[in-house]
Amino acid sequence: MEQQTTDMWAQWLLHRRHGGDTARMQEVLAHLYPVRDKVLSHVAFGESSVLLDVGCGDGLIGFGALAKSPSSRVIFSDISQDLLDHAASVAQRMQASDRCTFLCASADDLFGVKDASVDAVTTRSVLIYVAAKRRAFQQFYRVLKPGGRLSVFEPINRFGEPQPPHMFWGFDVTPIEAIAAKVKAIYRRLQPLDTDPMMDFDERDLLEHAELVGFAEIHLELDVEVKPLSEVQNWSVTWESFLRSAANPKVPTLEEAMAQALTADEVAQFTAHMRPLVETKSGTIRSAVAYLSARK
């Protein structure tokens, strides 16, 4: 049985991200494994190396690094003690605890890591939650040894925003546009496009941060995808898991947002329109992600 979690980060990563649907959870992981491998491919991670995985979450990057280099060590860093405890339990089951250190710290204040003490720093979908992104890059630079490498993966959530009024998460809601607008307003109030850390940057800002803090060599790759949802492999979301999934730890599930914004009649209209679209994958996926790697 999954350990009961308390903070929003652990609740989302271990449960709310996939709406409690174990099949969906496996699809999410299948999508993330290539991301993990690409992030690790951008760091020089050899024998006896020390990697700092900032915002380690459930340990996807860190445990991948341990498997890649049997004599390496990983510092798992996160602001969630619940997630660190989860990762520590996984490390124990893997009999890898002696190669792991766990640090509760934010990306912009890695107080527990000494200057020039690690060979590599990795992050995956972490800076989207950090308001002080420049300070985070300064911390990455500080803890890296000379010649050490940074590898960052970040979704560019500003891409495609704001959506046209007749679109809701890639689905055409023209017949119920006014009702959908009420639901969208819930999310927009929580995460304004111009001020929320998840929305207020793009790949050019990441590049600027890395350059201004002093990284000597920087590479940036932007991957943009727009295509019919019907052509997306490993997307078998049920209506129930669609309703009960949250896009990130700071927002409600669709079911919760509907309950806040809509009357019972509006919920019925919204569901009658949206459910067939979701179940037949009659939508469009729009995504943009950035991979940034740099050498100190």
Place of tokens 């996939």: 18
Per-residue pLDDT tens digits for 246-295: 999 999 999 999 999 999 999 999 999 999 999 999 999 999 999 999 99
Give every CB contact of residue 274 below 8 A, 6+ residues apart in sequence.
Answer: 168, 171, 173
Lowest-confidence pick of 67-71, 142-146, 278-282: 67-71
Instruction: Let me know if residue 87 belongs to a domain.
Output: yes
Together in a domain, 122 and 210: yes
Of the chain, the percentage scoring pLDDT greater than 90 comes to 82
Together in a domain, 204 and 62: yes
Q: What is the pTM of this model?
A: 0.93
Q: What is the CATH number of the domain that holds 13?
A: 3.40.50.150
Q: Look up the domain containing 38 and give its range.
A: 8-154+199-225+288-295
Together in a domain, 77 and 176: no
Give every CB contact of residue 161 below 8 A, 6+ residues apart in sequence.
Answer: 193, 199
Per-residue pLDDT tens digits for 71-127: 899 999 999 999 999 999 999 999 999 999 999 999 999 999 999 999 999 999 999
End-to-end CA distance of the chain: 43
Amino acid at 227: K
Residue 3 has pLDDT above 70, yes or no: no
CA dist., res. 164 & res. 162, Å (int): 7
Instruction: Let me know if residue 60 belongs to a domain.
Output: yes
CA dist., res. 11 & res. 213, Å (int): 34
Place of tokens 């271990």: 14
